[in-house]
């Protein structure tokens, strides 16, 4: 392919153009084609035609440049393909990489199982293991298959915190009771106020006992405070019983809420079951009606009634005739009746009636 020149031979021209530029060749060729195809050429349109010819030449030049670029790209692609064909194919190491990843996963799983077993043995912390979903055809690690199942976890039992105090101080005992009540989930305002009031009263009594001028003998006897101490102890026992009762009521109320939800679910299930049975009965009745209707539609058509017969149709043919034919020709047998005064007469009858006659 030529880059900058080409030869054009037109049938209508005897002159041969030599090595010319691409744009000049396109312009002259277009002018010659216009003059040959349109003999009535208007010279006033020469500028417009020249502009068209120049545009055509530019387009031809652009197409040739584009063609050269494409040829160059094709050559580059061909050269690269040859280089790739001569290159030695590399080793596929995907299998080794996959095996290494599986080995790493087995090591991680082993470490995780060891850590889980240690935490189960400690028994102090609750372990939450997040299971990652794996595809169906994913191979199961050998270590995980050989591990024993973890020990079953016991259900957590709700424990109650009992009041703990040191010494014989009544204030410390009431304070311990109040703290235990709060830790067990108690939040009754009346109980808390009553405990605070009792604690303040006990503190006041202890302060009075410390500030009094009684000697040790009087303090050991405690003639004046015995009644108050008994009352406080009785009140303490009563509050302790009320606290235990409130704890039991709280526990029972939680169980009652659970039982109420279970009863509601059972009622809902019973209603759904009854509705399902009712629908099944309706469907069975509808199926039975459809079967009866199908049998009624498939029943055979009744035969038409026979035509009425005359009354004498039931009688034999011989009995229907009022007389017996007498044959005038020679009979097969002759029966002669001899009677006085009766001339000799020959009577013939068919063979079917001979058996009924009796000779006298």
Domain ranges within the chain, ordered by starting residue: 22-83
- What are the tens digits of pLDDT across the range 158-214? 566 666 666 667 777 888 888 888 877 777 888 888 888 888 888 888 888 777 754
pLDDT of residue 344: 47
Q: Which two tokens stand for residue 232?
A: 């406080």
Q: How far apart are CA 107 and CA 99, in angstroms?
A: 12
The whole-number pLDDT of residue 120 equals 75
**Inter-helix orientation angle 226-297/170-183, to 10°:** 10
User: What is the predicted pLDDT for the residue at 267?
Assistant: 83
What is the spatial distance between Cα 194 and Cα 202, in angstroms, rounded to a whole number? 12
DSSP string, 278-329: HHHHHHHHHHHHHHHHHHHHTSPPPPPPPPPPPGGGSS-HHHHSSS-----S
How is residue 161 annotated by DSSP?
P
Confidence at residue 256, expressed as pLDDT on a 0 to 100 scale: 66
Q: Who's near 247: CB < 8 A, 6+ residues apart?
A: 160, 184, 186
pLDDT of residue 70: 92
Specify the DSSP class assigned to residue 40. Answer: S
Residue, of 41 and 359, whose pLDDT is higher? 41
Mean per-residue pLDDT for 285-302?
A: 80
Mean pLDDT of all residues in the chain?
68
> Does pLDDT of 112 surpass 70?
yes
DSSP state of 136: T
Give the per-residue pLDDT at 94.
75
Average pLDDT over residues 242-258: 73
Residue in the structure block whose two tokens are 């199961």: 140
Alpha helices by DSSP H, 10-93: 22-37, 46-86
Q: For 40-44, 174-178, 279-283, 325-329, which range has the lowest pLDDT when averaged over its residues?
A: 325-329
In order, the DSSP letters of 262-277 are HHHHHHHHHHHHHHHH
The pLDDT score that the predictor gives to residue 143 is: 42
């Amino acid at each position: 392919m030529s880059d900058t020149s080409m030869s054009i031979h037109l049938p209508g021209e005897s002159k041969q153009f030599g090595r010319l530029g691409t744009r000049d060749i396109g312009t002259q060729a277009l002018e010659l084609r216009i003059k040959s195809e349109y003999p009535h050429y208007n010279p006033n349109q020469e500028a417009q035609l020249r502009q068209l010819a120049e545009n055509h030449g530019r387009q031809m030049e652009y197409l040739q440049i584009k063609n050269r670029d494409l040829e160059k790209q094709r050559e580059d692609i061909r050269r690269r393909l040859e280089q790739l064909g001569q290159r030695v194919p590399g080793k596929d190491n995907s299998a080794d990489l996959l095996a290494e990843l599986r080995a790493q996963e087995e090591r991680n799983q082993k470490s995780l199982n060891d850590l889980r077993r240690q935490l189960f043995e400690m028994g102090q912390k609750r372990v939450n293991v997040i299971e990652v979903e794996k595809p169906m055809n994913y191979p199961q690690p050998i270590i995980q298959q050989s591990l024993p199942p973890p020990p079953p976890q016991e259900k957590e039992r709700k424990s109650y915190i009992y009041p703990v105090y040191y010494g014989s101080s009544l204030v410390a005992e009431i304070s311990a009771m109040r703290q235990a009540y709060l830790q067990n989930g108690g939040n009754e305002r009346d109980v808390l106020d009553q405990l605070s009031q009792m604690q303040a009263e006990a503190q006041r009594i202890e302060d009075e006992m410390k500030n009094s001028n009684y000697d040790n003998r009087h303090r050991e006897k405690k003639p004046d405070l015995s009644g108050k101490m008994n009352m406080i102890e009785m009140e303490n026992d009563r509050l302790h019983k009320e606290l235990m009762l409130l704890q039991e009521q709280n526990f029972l109320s939680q169980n009652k809420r659970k039982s109420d939800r279970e009863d509601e679910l059972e009622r809902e299930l019973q209603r759904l079951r009854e509705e399902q049975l009712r629908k099944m009965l309706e469907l069975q009745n509808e199926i039975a009606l459809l079967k009866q209707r199908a049998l009624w539609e498939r029943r055979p058509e009744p035969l038409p009634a026979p035509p009425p017969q005359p009354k004498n149709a039931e009688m034999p043919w011989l009995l229907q005739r009022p007389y017996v034919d007498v044959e005038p020709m020679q009979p097969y047998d002759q029966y002669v009746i001899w009677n006085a005064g009766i001339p000799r007469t020959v009577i013939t009858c068919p063979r079917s009636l001979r058996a009924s006659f009796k000779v006298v």
